[in-house]
Amino acid sequence: MAELHAQTLTELAAGLRAGKFSSVELTRHFLERISKYDAELNAFITVTSELALAQAADADARIAAGTASALTGLPLAHKDIFCTDGVLTTCGSKMLSNFVSPYDATVVTRLKQAGMVMLGKTNMDEFAMGSSNETSFYGAVKNPWNLAKVPGGSSGGSAAAVAARIAPAATGTDTGGSIRQPAALTSLTGIKPTYGRVSRYGMIAFASSLDQGGVMCLSAEDAALLLQSMSGFDVQDSTSVDTPVPDYSATLNQSLKGLKIGLVKEFFEQGLSNENAKPVREALAVYEQLGARLVEVSLPNLPLSVPTYYVVAPAECSSNLSRFDGVRFGYRCDNPRDLQDLYTRSRGEGFGSEVKRRIMTGTYVLSAGYYDAYYLRAQKIRRLITEEFANAFKQVDVLMGPTSPTTAFDIGAKVDDPVTMYLNDIYTIGANLAGLPAMSIPCGFLDGLPVGLQIIGGHFAEAKLLNVAHGYQQVTDWHKRMPERYA
């Protein structure tokens, strides 16, 4: 069944309904590919083979009984930041390397109820802190397009798994670009919905006002299917928004004639080379051919999004990660002398260097002498950025630009220079600060490496984003390309 992994989630769903193959056969096919390729990719932390086959058998029974949903029987992988009942949930950290969750995250529950099959848990930057998937306690993930390159982060394991076709889709989380940037670097469709659209319950927190769950898959059509089941109000999440979820698949084929696309002036000025800009501009020309109109938009405070983010996010991480103390769960140091020693050594030994860097930065900006100078000022700038986006959407339907300033870089190239690493998120952070939905779609290649186009919408405009992405994917085939090695 070599052809199965080349199909989109939507195509696999149609094949299951038509009886061309069973969920067990499909699941076994992907488990065999994981067994064959993951040793070189390092995309998975945990592979749940027995559980997957049992869930697949249940899915086949549902299909036979006529009680299946659109997603029943389809395999996927979960980023290892989502709690999974009875399965190791590590966040890519030594701190949680022995933590078996006693419950499921809401995202996991909803996809399980839809009948999806969990292949396993994917590798990630430790506690989602990173842009290259090199901070993981379990080692760096490799980019399937070039094994010497990073896949992006923090959802790099999910990106590599789907790009190499060892999983047809995967969940991810996006705090400052952690779905969109790896999607761009591995030629995938990745969407971060509006803050509050997808429940954060059971999604281990990094920065609570920024984190949002989403998906990585091959097409906008696949993303619409997955997001449909994941979205919606959750009483267990105080940041969940109680607003109706539209039928994302129903509006995919709406005409793009008359669509107003805002080109963010600052996106094309900040660190973007002419070579990297070329595929993005070619994609914009395709939209013009589809009837869209391009309008230049300026967001003057947007360049301040990186320094703003690296005050707000570490402050929230400092608070959230204080719970990992070696007492209740997770890593505990050996033979502590007293309680102080237990706290100090458990945290010192359990966290990696990037996590420690952000905890210390966050604690500093929240301290009495610096709170007003840093944290309060950052929140004021965040408000200005949010207002600029709101004003832009009074003029245009969506905003577009590059997802990442560069294609995938060499593993090890930026690990010793945190500031350069942080600048990888220069185009993606703004949407998180404003709580906006945003996605990345493949739009070409540069020297054999993928380039992504970013699309940003107004609050709860996921249906519009998916429609705009789908229109482009109907007349291009970048999203269908796969690395030759894994074909």
Please report, for the domain that includes residue 118, its CATH number: 3.90.1300.10
The rounded mean pLDDT for the chain is 96
**Same-domain status, 316 and 252:** no
Among residues 178, 229, 305, 318, the one annotated as catalytic is: 178
Bridging pattern class, strands 449-456 and 398-402: antiparallel
Measured in whole angstroms, how far is the alpha carbon of residue 313 from the centre of its chain?
17
Residue 336 resides in a domain: yes
Q: Is the pLDDT of residue 458 over 70?
A: yes
Q: Is 79 in the active site?
A: yes
Q: How far apart (Å, rounded) are the C-alpha atoms in residues 127 and 109?
A: 21
- Other Cβ atoms less than 10 A from the Cβ of 327: the count is 12
Quick: pLDDT tens for 59-84: 999 999 999 999 999 999 999 999 99
Quick: pLDDT tens for 164-184: 999 999 999 999 999 999 999
Q: Write the Ramachandran bin of 8: left for phi over 0, alpha for psi from -120 to 50, otherwise beta.
A: beta
Of 427, 434, 429, 430, nearest in space to 402 by CA:
427
Q: Is the pLDDT of residue 420 over 90?
A: no
**Cβ proximity of 385 and 301 under 8 Å:** yes
**Same-domain status, 51 and 159:** yes
Bridging pattern class, strands 398-402 and 293-297: unpaired
Binned at pLDDT 50, 70 and 90, residue 104 comes out as very high
Phi, psi of 339 (to 5 degrees): -65, -40
Binned at pLDDT 50, 70 and 90, residue 304 comes out as very high
Q: How far apart (Å, rounded) are the C-alpha atoms in residues 404 and 320?
A: 28
**pLDDT for the residue 252:** 98
* Tokens (6 digits) for 55: 């869930």
**Cβ proximity of 170 and 138 under 8 Å:** no
**Same-domain status, 252 and 121:** yes
Residue 281 resides in a domain: no
Q: How far apart (Å, rounded) are the C-alpha atoms in residues 118 and 48?
A: 7
Among residues 22, 23, 79, 231, the one annotated as catalytic is: 79
Averaged over 109-135, what is the pLDDT? Answer: 98
> E strand or H helix at 288, and its extent?
helix 274-289
Q: How far apart (Å, rounded) are the C-alpha atoms in residues 321 and 339?
A: 18
- Other Cβ atoms less than 10 A from the Cβ of 144: the count is 27
Residue 457 resides in a domain: no
**Same-domain status, 100 and 239:** yes
DSSP summary character for residue 86: T
The C-alpha R_g of the chain, in whole angstroms, comes to 21
Q: How far apart (Å, rounded) are the C-alpha atoms in residues 174 and 195?
A: 10
**Same-domain status, 49 and 126:** yes
Residue 179 resides in a domain: yes
Binned at pLDDT 50, 70 and 90, residue 424 comes out as confident
Strand order in the sheet with 212-217: 44-47, 117-122, 75-79, 170-174, 212-217, 189-192, 438-446, 449-456, 398-402, 260-264, 293-297
Q: Is the pLDDT of residue 1 over 50?
A: no
Q: Is the pLDDT of residue 426 over 70?
A: yes
Q: Of 335, 352, 379, at which residue does a domain stop? A: 379
Q: How far apart (Å, rounded) are the C-alpha atoms in residues 11 and 27?
A: 15
Q: How many domains does the chain have?
A: 2
Binned at pLDDT 50, 70 and 90, residue 147 comes out as very high
**Cβ proximity of 75 and 168 under 8 Å:** yes
CA atoms within 13 A on the CB side of 236: 12
**Same-domain status, 221 and 321:** no
> E strand or H helix at 235, and its extent?
none
Q: Of 379, 413, 438, at which residue does a domain stop? A: 379
Q: How far apart (Å, rounded) are the C-alpha atoms in residues 68 and 108?
A: 17
Residue 195 structural domain? 4-256+465-486
Residue with tokens 């020693």: 341
Residue 424 resides in a domain: no
**Cβ proximity of 401 and 263 under 8 Å:** yes
Q: Provide the 3-class DSSP secondary structure of residue 200.
A: coil
Phi, psi of 70 (to 5 degrees): -60, -25
**Same-domain status, 215 and 355:** no
Q: How far, in Å, are 76, 249, 461 from residue 193 at the CA level?
A: 19, 15, 8
**pLDDT for the residue 241:** 97
Residue 412 resides in a domain: no
**Same-domain status, 232 and 352:** no
**Same-domain status, 102 and 239:** yes
Cα-based torsion angle of the residue sequence 146, 166, 130, 314 in order, rounded to the nearest 10 degrees: 170
Q: Of 323, 344, 379, at which residue does a domain stop? A: 379
Q: Provide the 3-class DSSP secondary structure of residue 414.
A: coil
**pLDDT for the residue 417:** 87
Quick: pLDDT tens for 346-386: 999 999 999 999 999 999 999 988 999 999 999 999 999 99
**Cβ proximity of 464 and 279 under 8 Å:** no
Q: Provide the 3-class DSSP secondary structure of residue 186.
A: helix
Q: Is the pLDDT of residue 230 over 90?
A: yes
DSSP summary character for residue 73: T
**Same-domain status, 220 and 323:** no
* Tokens (6 digits) for 340: 């102080």
Residue 386 resides in a domain: no
Among residues 131, 154, 158, 305, the one annotated as catalytic is: 154
Q: Provide the 3-class DSSP secondary structure of residue 38.
A: helix
Residue 363 resides in a domain: yes
**pLDDT for the residue 419:** 83
**pLDDT for the residue 300:** 95
- Other Cβ atoms less than 10 A from the Cβ of 371: the count is 14
Q: Is 22 in the active site?
A: no
**Same-domain status, 311 and 251:** no
Averaged over 290-316, what is the pLDDT? Answer: 96
Q: How far apart (Å, rounded) are the C-alpha atoms in residues 482 and 487?
A: 7
The pTM for the full model equals: 0.97
Q: Is the pLDDT of residue 272 over 90?
A: no
**Same-domain status, 46 and 160:** yes
DSSP string of 247-287?
-TTTTTT---TT-EEEEEGGGGTSS--HHHHHHHHHHHHHH
